[in-house]
């Protein structure tokens, strides 16, 4: 039975006497190590410092580094809530995130701090009695999406779930190159490794995506499909790599086969921001997409939709909205359980496009923005060849193209539209005016 922790303090305390490396990182071209004892010591020392602060909610938008990880743990230990943001977000989204969550302090580079300063609320001194909570945006850290509030206990349970299905050990090196501001990245490329004694190698940033495997020589690599495909294409996977854990978006069977052909085990994880990631993980049998449920997860299919009960579930969305019904959370994903009880995800019920990069686009929101740019016309966002495009009705092609260009300037690169197409006649709608998306996909 794998060890389970009730929160970050317990996790750190259990490992605080270990001289084994918790973090590997690069400093000035030299590989450095920070032991578990050193990591815990720094986190507890920083906790004492943060307890003197008045901030109840801290926006953390620093690049991944040992200092950032220590800081993150210390804020939680000190009872401060932490909103993790990807530091490369557009300025406007940062400001929205800060205002929406009423962040009272921020940790980021000086340029970002200057930008955020006017958006921060006055320190309230409302720290929590126990450990602080983590706040993640549900789709690509966009401030327009919902913010899920999760406890450190939920995250530790999620890491335990993962460990029960796919163990990592002392001696393993887990390469962390996914953004920690995404739940999959946070749990699978940081917390899982730290919880179970692996050395977490902190990637050197986007410029080193392709050579970090050779530099840190990981045994485990959590990745999103687009990243894995790039690593494969550039032959950048290191010989000692034994496991790849894929998450955040669907992966093709071709990619899975190509990685397995290198003697590397490929596992596919399923989870949501609201459930602190880990709900199910694929096994290594014949069907690479059949996933076994994690030990703490109960799943049921209701009218085709996957619903789950899990102790990893968020407390609520920021602001208090709690969509769970009797502890049951409806995922918005379509799927089924096979005769061996394995979960298969077949699509998305809600109006969300999931791109190969793992980035999600909430269609109604994008469509509202596009329709504001196309007065009198109709707009739908659909996937064409795996890429999001505008399907417009009631306007000339030139205007639709211009609307796409204008829209793209307002969203992160990964969410930008690939182009525009015209729909012949009005967009198909239900009697209540909702778009019939399945018809649009066919017409696109």
Partner 1 sequence: MKREEILQKTIRVIRDCVPELQEQELSEASVVNTDMGMDSMNFILVICRLEALFDVKIPDRQWQKLATLGDVVDAIEKRCRA
409 lies in the binding site for partner 1 (CB under 8 A) = yes
Q: Looking at beta carbons only, is 2 or 67 nearer to partner 1?
A: 67
Q: How far is C-alpha 96 from the geometric centre of its chain's CA atoms?
A: 19
Of the candidate residues 418, 421, 422, 439, the single one contacting partner 1 (CB under 8 A): 418
DSSP letter (8 states) at residue 189: I
Q: How far is the CB of 278 from partner 1 (least distance, A)?
A: 25
Of the candidate residues 249, 412, 422, 443, the single one contacting partner 1 (CB under 8 A): 412
Q: Is 365 left (phi over 0), alpha (psi -120 to 50) or beta?
A: alpha
Q: How far is the CB of 166 from partner 1 (least distance, A)?
A: 25
Structure tokens at 65: 């580094």
Of the candidate residues 414, 421, 422, 439, the single one contacting partner 1 (CB under 8 A): 414
**What is the C-alpha to C-alpha distance for residues 323 and 305, in angstroms, rounded to an integer?**
15
Phi and psi, residue 295, nearest 5°: -55, -35
* Piece of 96-104, 175-183, 259-267, 354-362 that binds partner 1 (CB under 8 A): 354-362
Q: Which residue has the tokens 């004492």?
A: 48
Q: Looking at beta carbons only, is 33 or 115 nearer to partner 1?
A: 115
Contacts for 201-204 with beta carbons within 8 Å, 24 or more apart? 201/23, 201/24, 201/25, 201/173, 201/174, 201/175, 201/176, 202/23, 202/24, 202/25, 202/26, 202/64, 202/65, 202/66, 202/69, 202/176, 203/64, 203/175, 203/176, 203/177, 204/26
Q: Looking at beta carbons only, is 369 or 414 nearer to partner 1?
A: 414
The neighbour count for residue 23, using CB atoms within 10 Å, is 23
Binding mask 221-260 for partner 1 (x = CB under 8 A): -----xx-xx---x--------------------------
The neighbour count for residue 444, using CB atoms within 10 Å, is 16
* Piece of 5-13, 20-28, 205-213, 344-352 that binds partner 1 (CB under 8 A): 205-213
Q: How far is the CB of 151 from partner 1 (least distance, A)?
A: 31
Window 282-311: residues binding partner 1 (CB under 8 A): none
Q: How far is the CB of 207 from partner 1 (least distance, A)?
A: 5
Binding mask 78-97 for partner 1 (x = CB under 8 A): ---------xxxx-------
The neighbour count for residue 274, using CB atoms within 10 Å, is 26
Q: Looking at beta carbons only, is 122 or 207 nearer to partner 1?
A: 207
**What is the C-alpha to C-alpha distance for residues 169 and 184, in angstroms, rounded to an integer?**
19
**What is the C-alpha to C-alpha distance for residues 389 and 197, in angstroms, rounded to an integer?**
44
357 lies in the binding site for partner 1 (CB under 8 A) = yes
Contacts for 255-264 with beta carbons within 8 Å, 24 or more apart? 255/225, 255/228, 255/229, 256/288, 258/232, 259/228, 259/232, 262/237, 264/237
* Piece of 182-190, 201-209, 271-279, 305-313 that binds partner 1 (CB under 8 A): 201-209
332 lies in the binding site for partner 1 (CB under 8 A) = no
Nearest to 280 by CA among 253, 247, 257: 247
Window 43-62: residues binding partner 1 (CB under 8 A): none
Q: Looking at beta carbons only, is 32 or 410 nearer to partner 1?
A: 410
Q: How far is the CB of 25 from partner 1 (least distance, A)?
A: 17
Binding mask 112-131 for partner 1 (x = CB under 8 A): x-------------------
Q: How far is C-alpha 252 from the geometric centre of its chain's CA atoms?
A: 19
* Piece of 10-18, 250-258, 263-271, 408-416 that binds partner 1 (CB under 8 A): 408-416
Of the candidate residues 27, 30, 110, 111, the single one contacting partner 1 (CB under 8 A): 111
Do strands 316-317 and 57-60 pair parallel, antiparallel, or not at all (unpaired)? unpaired
* Residues in CB range of 294: below 8 A, 6 or more apart: 161, 162, 164, 165, 278, 279, 280, 281, 310
Q: How far is the CB of 404 from partner 1 (least distance, A)?
A: 8
Q: Where are the alpha helices (DSSP H) in 166-238?
A: 183-186, 192-195, 212-216, 225-233
Q: How far is the CB of 142 from partner 1 (least distance, A)?
A: 13
* Piece of 145-153, 204-212, 253-261, 336-344 that binds partner 1 (CB under 8 A): 204-212
Name the residues that contact partner 1, by CB under 8 A: 87-90, 111-112, 205-207, 209-210, 226-227, 229-230, 234, 355-357, 359, 387-388, 405, 408-409, 412-414, 416-419
């Amino acid at each position: 039975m794998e060890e389970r922790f009730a929160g970050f303090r317990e996790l750190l305390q259990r490992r605080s006497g270990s001289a084994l490396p918790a973090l590997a990182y690069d400093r000035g071209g030299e590989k450095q190590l920070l032991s578990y004892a050193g990591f815990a010591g720094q986190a507890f020392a920083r906790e004492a410092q943060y307890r003197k602060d008045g901030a109840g909610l801290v926006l953390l938008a620093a690049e991944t580094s040992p200092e950032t990880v220590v800081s993150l743990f210390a804020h939680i230990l000190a009872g401060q809530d932490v909103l993790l943001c990807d530091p490369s977000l557009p300025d406007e989204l940062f400001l929205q995130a800060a205002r929406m969550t009423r962040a009272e302090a921020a940790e980021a580079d000086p340029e970002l701090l200057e930008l955020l300063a006017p958006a921060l609320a006055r320190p309230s001194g409302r720290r929590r009695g126990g450990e602080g909570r983590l706040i993640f945006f549900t789709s690509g850290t966009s401030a327009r999406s919902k913010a899920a509030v999760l406890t450190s206990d939920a995250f530790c349970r999620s890491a335990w779930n993962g460990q029960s299905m796919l163990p990592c050990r002392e001696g393993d090196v887990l390469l962390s190159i996914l953004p920690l501001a995404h739940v999959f990245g946070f749990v699978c490329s940081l917390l899982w490794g730290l919880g179970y004694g692996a050395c977490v190698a902190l990637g050197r940033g986007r410029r080193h995506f392709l050579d970090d495997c050779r530099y840190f020589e990981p045994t485990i690599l959590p990745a999103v499909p687009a990243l894995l495909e790039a690593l494969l294409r550039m032959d950048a996977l290191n010989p000692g790599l034994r496991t790849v854990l894929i998450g955040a978006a669907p992966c093709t069977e071709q990619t899975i086969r190509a990685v397995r052909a290198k003697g590397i085990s490929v596992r596919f994880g399923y989870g949501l921001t609201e459930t602190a990631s880990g709900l199910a993980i694929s096994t290594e049998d014949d069907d690479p997409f059949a996933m076994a449920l994690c030990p703490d997860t109960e799943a049921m299919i209701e009218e085709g939709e996957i619903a789950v009960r899990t102790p990893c579930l968020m407390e609520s969305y920021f602001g208090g909205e709690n969509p769970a019904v009797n502890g049951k959370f409806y995922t918005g994903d379509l799927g089924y359980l096979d005769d061996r009880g394995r979960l298969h995800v077949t699509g998305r019920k809600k109006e969300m496009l999931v791109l190969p990069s793992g980035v999600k686009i909430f269609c109604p929101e994008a469509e509202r923005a596009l329709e504001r740019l196309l007065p009198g016309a109709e707009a739908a966002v659909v996937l064409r060849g795996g890429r999001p495009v505008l399907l417009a009705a009631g306007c000339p092609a030139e205007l639709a193209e211009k609307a796409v260009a204008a829209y793209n300037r307002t969203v992160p690169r990964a969410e930008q539209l690939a182009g525009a197409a015209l729909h012949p006649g009005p967009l198909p709608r239900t009697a209540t005016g909702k778009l019939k998306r399945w018809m649009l996909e066919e017409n696109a």
